[in-house]
């Protein structure tokens, strides 16, 4: 077993690799991993077929990049046969923040076909080395995706940073067994509150779409007219063609029945 980190990028002033805690193992044998201790003891909710289908993306090529890829170049994705559970740490959530988040998750769900389930609030603080399996807090399953509202004093953010997000991967890139099993997104509540209060709702929407794009596996692109550009030069309150092509591919991943 070795520890790997995916890059979790930030929108605006800081572009960095915060990283989220990532389990990475040596394949299906998973030597050294103890079920119920390091990983869930049982396979969770997994359907026979993907729960949804991604929206048909516009024709064209490129305009997107992936955070992680398999050896064959295909993107590492969440398992489309399982719902993605989400908990929210609401401490610095602005007025309208809950609705904004639901809207943005809906955009991601529509573009990818992935299903999100809101499990409710949590008190878990976001950390850079978050474990993807926390049975003491969430029971015998992969930890749900943590979405946290925070302020600039949070170690995951910093002055002027509007958000940061990334998925947690599990598996190995041998035989395409890597998949995302959890993740973290942190949003700067006071900054987004200011945007919402001063008529800059478009910017707030752009921040959430960008970070949730990272959460499901998109990386930055050089095209400033895509949501996944590394700064919001042109606040884009909807995914653009390249973003949508990338999200479509992220919704067409493999289903897993091992963990």
Catalog residues that contact Zn ion under the rule CB under 5 A: 9, 11
Q: How far is the CB of 88 from Zn ion (least distance, A)?
A: 20
Q: How far is the CB of 214 from Zn ion (least distance, A)?
A: 6
Residue at token pair 């991967």: 169
Q: How far is the CB of 104 from Zn ion (least distance, A)?
A: 14
Q: How far is the CB of 159 from Zn ion (least distance, A)?
A: 17
The closest residue (CB) to Zn ion is 9
Nearer to Zn ion, 9 or 68 (CB): 9
Q: How far is the CB of 42 from Zn ion (least distance, A)?
A: 35
Q: Which neighbouring-strand residues pair with 148?
A: 89, 186
Nearer to Zn ion, 9 or 22 (CB): 9
Nearer to Zn ion, 11 or 132 (CB): 11
Nearer to Zn ion, 12 or 98 (CB): 12
Nearer to Zn ion, 9 or 157 (CB): 9
Q: How far apart are CA 58 and CA 226, in angstroms?
A: 13
């Amino acid at each position: 077993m070795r520890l790997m980190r995916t890059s979790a990028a930030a929108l605006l002033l800081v572009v960095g690799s915060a990283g989220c805690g990532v389990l990475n193992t040596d394949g299906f044998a998973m030597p050294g991993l103890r079920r119920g201790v390091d990983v869930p003891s049982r396979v969770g909710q997994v359907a026979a077929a993907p729960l949804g289908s991604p929206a048909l993306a516009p024709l064209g090529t490129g305009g997107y990049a992936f955070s992680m890829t398999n050896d064959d170049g295909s993107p590492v994705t969440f398992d489309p046969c399982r719902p993605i559970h989400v908990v929210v740490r609401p401490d610095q959530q602005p007025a309208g923040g809950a609705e904004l988040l639901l809207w943005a998750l809906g955009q991601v769900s529509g573009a990818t076909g992935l299903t999100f389930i809101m499990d409710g609030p949590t008190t878990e603080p976001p950390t850079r080395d978050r474990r993807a399996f926390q049975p003491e807090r969430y029971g015998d399953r992969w930890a749900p995706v943590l979405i946290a509202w925070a302020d600039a004093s949070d170690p995951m953010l910093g002055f002027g940073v509007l958000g940061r997000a990334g998925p947690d991967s599990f598996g190995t890139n041998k035989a395409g067994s890597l998949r995302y099993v959890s993740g973290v997104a942190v949003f700067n509540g006071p900054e987004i509150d200011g945007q919402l209060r001063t008529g800059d709702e478009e910017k707030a929407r752009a921040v959430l779409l960008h970070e949730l794009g990272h959460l499901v596996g998109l990386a930055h692109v050089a095209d400033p007219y895509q949501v996944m550009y590394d700064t919001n030069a042109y606040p884009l309150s909807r995914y653009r063609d390249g973003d949508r092509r990338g999200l479509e591919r992220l919704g067409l991943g493999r289903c897993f029945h091992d963990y």
